[in-house]
Structure 1
Amino acid sequence: MGKSNQREKMTSDNETQDRLLAMHHNFELVEDKSPPQGTKLSRFLRANALTLLTVGGVLIGTALGFILRAVKDDWTEREIMYIGFIGEIFLKMLKSLIIPLIIACLVSAICSLDLSLSTRVAARAIGYYLTTTFASVVLGIIVVMSIQPGVGKTVSSSSSTTVTERNTTTTDTLLDLVRNMFPPNLIEATIFQHRTKLTPRNDSDNDTYNFTIDSEIIQTTNILGLVVASAAIGIALAQLGEETRTMANFFHNLLAMMMKITSWVIQLSPLGILFLVCAEILEMENMASVMSGLGLYFVTVLLGLFIQGFIILPLLYFALTRQNPFTFIKHLGTAIVTAFGTASSTATLPITIKCLEEKLGIDPRIARFTLPIGATINMDGTALYEAVAAIFIAQVRGVSLDLGRIIAISITATAASIGAAGIPQAGLVTMVMVLDTVGLPAEDVTLILAVDWLLDRFRTAINVMGDAFGSGVVHYRSQKELNKLKQTARASLTSNDKEHATNEINTNNQDLNV
């Protein structure tokens, strides 16, 4: 009897210490909750209600779009804008969360971790993301070279969309990537990015063209610069410790507030995605005529994405964690469907964080540290698509590809996907750089525009899956350090802190009972 009481007391003390540790580091404990009452079906429906509603939004939006196309052929741009208005507002709400959420996530996570652990976590995350990105490029090259969807095909350019050619080089793009890591103005980085612009000029001496190197501003958030700046702030706060406790608490509180607002916005995802998909269906061209020329290319990209998302990534996850990868995927349903509906991995970031923390039990410090990094540099689907698209266009144009060009495509596609923004159809922007590697003009991007809007949604879903798998792998591989950090923090707690925490918890329990 005495041993039983002793075990109960030790369990109670550990629970108290865990709660105090969570309060000390400003993160929420992921607790095992008792299963809800009711039948198995009702429990499943309650647990997966949002995912099912979001999937329903995609299906209803698709069906509604085709019904409206059957009712009327020539929908005007203004009519489509009216139909997609609710979806547009939902997407804007998600995007409005990105900047404060990324900054708060990274700063809060880094200053809550031991600096040596932060370094190891970052190294594991970056190493994993770069490895899977390069693997997806290689997979894309293998698939497109095996199927050869462009050989003997004649594909017309998209008549409704044009691409403005921008003179650029692979070197300039890579240098721009590094430049954007260190923005000269953090406020400006929330709105703009800088990139190199080459302006042709006539050299009157030899009548040849060379270029003036300028810098142009593009209106999109410099996520990479904000990630680097947030990491620097988090490291500084961690090193200063108690001296900057107030500032650290500000970021912890900001994160808690943003997660609460995120939970509100997530509830709107089924309705928002319904109207986003419906408006996109109304905008598309005649699918039958498009598929006659691009059908095999479409299937090739989908096959590559399927292999990457449901074979390569799960096998890698299983090899590194010895856990069931398909259980992991099942709990990511809401994030995957939202990624498909919004076509933006960055906009899906708040929902991905919620899925990992609440459904998969990933340590909040790991999820909030690795996911913003993944959403910035890890684009498995985009990397695969760019490799497939570049080689497909080369096949259509009859351009032969030797081993050297294929290797150049693999390197360039990897770099281009890292530099791609997490916004809809961002891959088309970096696609120009990959085409330059093959020696093709920028205008050839229009050959694949007719189906790109749909493929963009599939590859974004794979991007989000890759980010989530990376976070899960890093969480598993960091268990030893996390447990050591918890033990060290427990040992540092004073008896007064323990007593205060115990009293506070008992008071809260009494309030709940009342």
Structure 2
Amino acid sequence: MKRFGLLARIVLAIILGVAIGSFANEGVIRTFATFNGLFGNFLSFIIPFIIIGFITPGIGEMGRGAGKLLGITTGLAYASTIIAGITAFYVAKWLYPSMLAGSSVQNLSDPSKGMASAFFSVEMPPPMEVMTALLVSFVIGIGIAAIKSDVLLSVFSDFRSIIELVIEKVIIPLLPIHIFGIFANMTYTGQVATILSVFAKVFIMIILLQVLYLVFQYTIAGSFTKENPLSMLKKMIPAYFTALGTQSSAASIPITLKHTKTLNIRGKTADFTVPLLATIHLSGSTITIMSCALAVLFLQGGSATIVSFMPFILMLGITMVAAPGVPGGAVMAAIGLLESMLHFDPTMVSLMIALYLAQDSFGTACNVTGDGAITAITDSIGKKLNIAGKKKHAA
């Protein structure tokens, strides 16, 4: 299985889940339901550690950056992420009633009614609430930046490395089994046709929306640099396909940096912004998370308003800062918010993860390609304010 990429494993897990769930007996389905229960409880347990491990060192490192250039880049990246989330909300709100008409699995909100039950469960209570973990992360991260503590920063950077290992070596390898169990259970209970239909429609909508958002980003960038936005976007295509293959913004940095420098901007600015944006600019991932979250909510028969979702969007832009450079890192960082702010139960979270990971590479490609537009805008503003780009980056 290690020879297959995560996307291939997810697709294989869905296919096998549908195939085996169509003829397996109740004992087999309950066995995988037991695994899913244990895995879901472990996810709930690890979420506060993921939040602290990602956000604390991320804020601490960014606070040591290159002054005004750091502030401009961070502000633009956050604004882009928020605008992407709001755009995805309104597009989904507009399209889903007709696009997903007749699709409903409301009984999934109660696993005891909608899906086969587990043989047993093991409680794994998290050490703290999600909001507590967020507040702890903000206080310590800002404190590290304020007092310039190398010792604390090193400790939390090491802690982040531990959490990344847990995600990379435990959670990501077990996710295909988890998703297999979910789809086998849904097939066994006759709900899989609805889910697969939703997958296909949402998948297409997300990719189209991401492409349109990239055109929007480069239109704004072109207005700042007086360059043709489509020509700028064309120059970044190699970075898009590199990210599509690696599924990692971090792994794509060399190619992203090389092609960003062809956008008629200062090389020193790109040297600073591209590595930083690889960890803080997540417009594509935000579009995916918002679209998937609303799809799952729609399946449950729930409703959504911009008033109820705006706090989630604002927090999402912060929580995904310094999400690890491993596939699925953004959705892992967002699970806590899905549970605490949108009240997703374990089954809804599982569907959310499956929907997200099925197109994770496209979200990463959108993130990376958009970094060129943010860099061009940053450089243009920097020239007007007479700010010199610095080679040393903050992330």
Distance 1:333 1:372 in 2: 18
Does residue 447 of the first structure (1) align with residue 351 of the second (2)?
yes
Q: 1:349 aligns with which of 235, 250, 253?
A: 253
Deviation at 1:338, TM superposition (A): 1.0
Match of 1:130 among 61, 78, 81: 78
Secondary structure at 2:272 match in 1: helix
- For residues 165 and 303 of structure 1, what CA distance do their matches in structure 2 show? 40
Q: Is the 8 A contact 1:137 1:387 kept in 2?
A: yes
In the alignment, is the contact (CA less than 8 A) between 2:225 and 2:377 conserved in 1? yes
Structure 1 position 304 matched with structure 2 position 209: yes
Q: Secondary structure at the match of 1:346?
A: coil
Match of 1:338 in 2: 242
SS state at 1:421 partner: coil
Instruction: Name the % identity.
Output: 21
**Quick one: structure 1 residues 363 and 143, their matched pair in 2 at CA, closer, same or farther if it must change by over 3 Å?**
same
Amino acid in the other structure paired with 1:455: Q
Distance in 2 of aligned mates of 1:130 and 1:464: 14
1:174/1:298 Cα in 2 relative to 1: closer, same or farther (>3 Å)?
A: farther
Q: For the Cα contact (< 8 Å) 2:218–2:230, is it kept in 1?
A: yes
Give the Cα–Cα distance (whole angstroms) in 2 for the partners of residues 475 and 403 of structure 1. 33
Measured at CA, do residues 152 and 411 of structure 1 come closer, stay the same or move farther in structure 2, by a change above 3 Å? farther
Q: Deviations over 1:425-467 (max 9, x none)?
A: 1122123233221122244121144443341111101111221
CA contact under 8 A between 1:165 and 1:443: conserved in structure 2?
A: no
Change (3 A) 1:479 1:397: same
2:265 to 334, 350, 362: 362
Q: 1:355/1:184 Cα in 2 relative to 1: closer, same or farther (>3 Å)?
A: same
SS for the counterpart of 1:144 is helix
Q: Match of 2:337?
A: 434
Contact 1:345 1:422 in 2 (8 A): yes
Residues 5-16 of structure 1 mapped to structure 2, 5 A cutoff:
none
| CA shift for structure 1 position 145 | 0.5
* 2:222 maps to amino acid: F
- 1:238-270 Cα deviation digits (max 9, x unpaired): xxxxxxxxxxxxxxxxxxxxxxxxxxxxxxxxx
Matches within 5 A, 1:99-248: 118-148=66-96, 152-154=102-104, 168-173=129-134, 175-176=136-137, 179-180=140-141, 182=144, 184-193=151-160, 218-219=163-164
Farther off after superposition, 460-469 or 412-421: 412-421
Match of 1:93 in 2: none
Counterparts in 2 of 1:464 and 1:421: CA distance versus 1, 3 Å? same
Conservation of the 8 A alpha-carbon contact between 2:81 and 2:317? yes
- 1:383-439 deviations in whole A, cap 9, x for unaligned? 222222222222111223344312223223322333533321112212323322112
Contact 2:238/2:255 (8 A) holds in 1? yes
Q: Is the 8 A contact 2:103 2:299 kept in 1?
A: yes
**Quick one: structure 1 residues 219 and 419, their matched pair in 2 at CA, closer, same or farther if it must change by over 3 Å?**
closer
Q: Any idea what SS the aligned residue of 1:193 has?
A: helix
**Residues 455 and 165 (structure 1 numbering): CA distance in 2 closer, same or farther, change over 3 Å?**
farther
- The alpha carbon displacement at 1:135 in A equals 0.5
More strand by share: 1
Relative to the length of structure 1, the TM-score reads 0.49
Alignment of 1:325-474 (within 5 A): 325-357=229-261, 359-418=262-321, 420-435=323-338, 436-474=340-378
Letter in 2 for 1:300: M
Q: Distance in 2 between matches of 1:180 and 1:338?
A: 32
Cα distance in 1, alignment partners of residues 160 and 101 from structure 2: 38
Instruction: Using the TM superposition, give the Cα deviation of residue 220 of structure 1 relative to its aligned residue in structure 2, in angstroms.
Output: 5.3
Q: Which residue of 2 aligns with 1:475?
A: 379
Distance 1:165 1:150 in 2: 36
Q: Letter of the aligned partner of 2:220 in structure 1?
A: L
The 3 A distance-change label for structure 1 pair 178 and 218 is farther
Distance (whole Å) between structure 2 residues aligned to residue 319 and residue 393 of structure 1: 37
CA contact (8 A) 2:85 2:286 kept: yes
Structure 2-normalised TM-score?
0.62
Structure 1 residues 8-50: Cα deviation after superposition (integer angstroms, max 9, x where no partner): xxxxxxxxxxxxxxxxxxxxxxxxxxxxxxxxxxxxxxxxxxx
The alpha-carbon deviation at position 343 of structure 1 amounts to 0.8
Unaligned runs of 5+ in 2: 18-60, 117-123, 145-149, 167-175, 185-191, 390-395
User: CA deviation digits over 1:169-189, x for unaligned, max 9?
Assistant: 245235425535637445545
Distance 1:142 1:415, change over 3 A: same
1:171 & 1:147 partners in 2: Cα distance? Answer: 36
Structure 1, unaligned stretches of length 5 or more?
A: 1-60, 75-105, 111-117, 195-216, 222-279, 487-514
Provide Cα deviations, 1:358-407, integer angstroms capped at 9, x if missing partner: x3353222111111221121111112222222222221112233443122
Rate the CA distance shift 1:190–1:411 in 2: closer, same or farther, 3 A.
closer
Displacement, 1:119? 2.9
Inter-CA distance 480–414: structure 2 relative to 1 (3 Å threshold): closer
Q: RMSD between aligned alpha carbons? A: 4.0
Give the superposition deviation at 1:141: 0.5
Task: Decide whether the 8 Å contact of 2:210 with 2:284 is kept in 1.
Answer: yes
Equivalent position SS for 1:438: coil
Name the larger-Rg structure.
1
Which secondary structure does the structure 1 equivalent of 2:103 belong to? coil
**Alignment partners' CA distance in 2, 1:180 and 1:466:** 27
**Do the aligned residues in 2 keep the contact of 1:416 with 1:433 (CA within 8 Å)?**
no
